[in-house]
Chains A and B, each alone.
Chain A
Amino acid sequence: MDSKNALLQVKDLRTYFHTEDGIVKAVDGVTFDVYSGETLGIVGESGCGKSVTSLSVMRLLDEKGEIAGGKIIFEGRDVMAIPESQMMKIRGNDMAMIFQEPMTALNPVFTVGFQIMEAILLHQDVNKEQARTMAIDMLRKVGIPEPEKRVDEYPHELSGGMRQRAMIAMALSCNPKLLFADEPTTALDVTIQAQILELMKSLQEQYGMALVMITHDLGVIAEMAQRVVVMYAGKVVEYAEVLTLFKKPRHPYTWGLMNAIPKLDEDKEVLYNIPGVVPDPLDFPDGCRFNTRCPLATDKCRKEEPPLVEVEENHTSACWYVDKLVEMIKVSRAGEGA
């Protein structure tokens, strides 16, 4: 795909947080494109910088955070150069966001209707009555029963799933071109998760917006995304189309993540996990940041950082030993088959 047509281009984004203990490089060179109407998945463990990436694009970092480098281009405009007064008009209107915790992401002292209407009134030239009708319509669209009644209820009167639906209604109320969904289903029951994902899919088709699905759950990725960015410790380690990624993972971290999903047809006593923990963001290891946990790591990995290179068309990976990994996967899959 030609990145010139991209709705959003993120190029070598670096977001650093200045804390008392030092500089945290939460996002350290992340590149990806998002096209209209598609779903891009960003996957990775907690603390790998997925959320910070989306907050950077929306320029919602707190005062300790700073975009230290890179470029963010949205509809051909350099986001970092847009003055705050105009950025406010873009937020909620052209770019919207859904958060992980529907329990805490809605303001407890305002009604659901007010919170949706506020977004509509800020960005659209309508009066209060019209905004209210639009809010009710939106609530109906996201599958909230009795929207005329719910519109005047407070968040605590709704269940977790309903709140997330209300959040989605709020985010979509101004028909954004780009929607960031930051772990939108993580805090919900499994059955509700499926409903919400289904809802987001159908709304995306209806509105034709681009969706950036941020999650740690490969199941969600498989369900929703067309293309996937795998992040580890603030860096992109692999990027591929979704089917390719699942069939042919080309980074040991991706492979590890996939192995960590239990399979029903396997009779295993112990679930696989990637050994070790995510490195301290204040003190990332030299070389490849995954070297502390990688089964293939060598001295080279500990010294030199592997670049993100194309392993095949539209598939990139940042690993020195893609060949070894391919070999390992072959052996492992052969073992499974036997």
Chain B
Amino acid sequence: MPLILIGVTLIIFSMIWALGPDRLLASYIKSPEALKTPDAAERLIKKYGLDEPMPVQYLKWLGNILQGDFGYSMVGKKGVLPAMLERFPYTLELTIYAIIPVILVAIWLGVVSAVHQNKFIDQFIRVFALVGWSLPDFVFGLLLLLVFYSLLGWFPPGMVNTQFDLIMRSAEWNKITSMPTIDALLNGRFDIFVDALRHLILPVMTLAYLWWAYLLRITRSSMLEVLRKDYIRTARAKGVPENIVIQKHAKKNAMIPVLTVAGGSVIGLLGGTVFVETIFSRVGMGRFLADAATLLDYWSIIGGALFFSFIMIVGNLVVDVSYALVDPRIRLE
């Protein structure tokens, strides 16, 4: 894992380095005043060491990263790391809510679908999965906005109503997790909790739909394969009741391929927040990255890339460990 981290930082840094000293310089300059003298540019390039050989620059940059200095964020108007930490809880909240349908509901329905293969309930579930799998998620998000906000006005975009927003910015508000729904409960404001949930429904649906559909399809096909296995017949021949055959004997085996996808889905969901937060005008890491990209805010983009890579590496590690929990053939020695 440390090796992967080094690889990731190397790749990311080579992207920075490829920008060249001139462009990088631009990100250090806060006002045109600094470039008044003719040799100012060269002087500043020297000052920040932008003309040094790549390995030297890389080590310097890595040193800064390790000390938590990710550079200055134009989008956040503060350091990149504090700017990201401020936004991450919102993205985390969105992702956590999206994981519930993606993992729990998809696996549940995938199993139901496989058990009732080709029956009505299976066809019904499969239609939804197929649509989710085929419909581009931004189209789905915009459709949801059109129907549930423009036409029906049930679920508005944004984070919370303005009046609640003011309360949440006030001094009495205890920021414990920085996740609106959880903080609302911790502050004993059920009305704010409900409102925050109302604002979460559409983005969560948009974010989750594709991965929900994908995971459901994987669960269904994996389950169908397992149900044909000899050991399922063995279990039935032992007199094991059918629901235990399915929920225990078959499901545990069927979960092995599902796990890989489930791990990937968490990472995919984080990636999906970039457009979901933009479409539903929410604050968060995804929106932060989208804004950074439009502003050519290099250090924010790099910071975001590092951040997501780190989460991805941790996510994969969790998947690998959980493999060993499900499949005894892969035991960590």
Contact = CB atoms under 8 A, between A and B. Distances in A.
Given A109-B252, A109-B328, A97 B231 contact: no
- Say which size band chain A's interface belongs to: 20 to 34
Contact of B231 (A92, A104, A156): A104
Given A105-B233, A107-B249, A107-B253, 12 more contacts: A60-B236, A88-B239, A88-B241, A89-B239, A91-B237, A92-B238, A93-B239, A104-B230, A107-B235, A109-B328, A115-B234, A123-B239
A51 to B, nearest CB: 10
A91 B239 contact: yes
A90 B234 contact: no
B240 interface: yes
A99 B230 contact: yes
A-B pairs with the 8 shortest C-beta distances?
A92-B239, A92-B238, A91-B239, A107-B231, A104-B230, A154-B328, A97-B237, A119-B238
A171 B253 CA distance: 22
A154 B234 contact: no
A86 to B, nearest CB: 10
A60 B252 CA distance: 22
B326 A109 contact: yes
Interface string A214-255: 000000000000000000000000000000000000000000
Contacts of A93: 239
Nearest to B231: A107
B239 A106 contact: no
Interface in A109-166: 109-111, 115, 118-119, 122-123, 154, 156
A123 B327 CA distance: 28
B230 A119 contact: no
A88 B240 CA distance: 7
B236 to A, nearest CB: 6
Contacts of B241: 88
A110 B233 CA distance: 15
Interface string A70-88: 0000000000000000001
Nearest to B228: A62
B215 to A, nearest CB: 20
B77 interface: no
Interface of B: 229-231, 233-241, 249, 252-253, 326-329
A229 B229 CA distance: 28
A152 B153 CA distance: 59
Contact of B329 (A92, A104, A118, A156): A156
24 contacts: A58-B237, A60-B237, A88-B239, A90-B239, A92-B239, A93-B239, A96-B238, A97-B234, A99-B234, A101-B230, A106-B231, A107-B249, A107-B253, A108-B231, A109-B252, A109-B327, A110-B252, A115-B234, A122-B238, A122-B239, A122-B240, A154-B328, A156-B329, A167-B234
A212 interface: no
A170 interface: yes
A58 B249 CA distance: 19
Contact of B238 (A91, A111, A154, A156): A91
Contacts of B236: 60, 91
A146 to B, nearest CB: 18
B233 A156 contact: no
Contacts of B229: 104
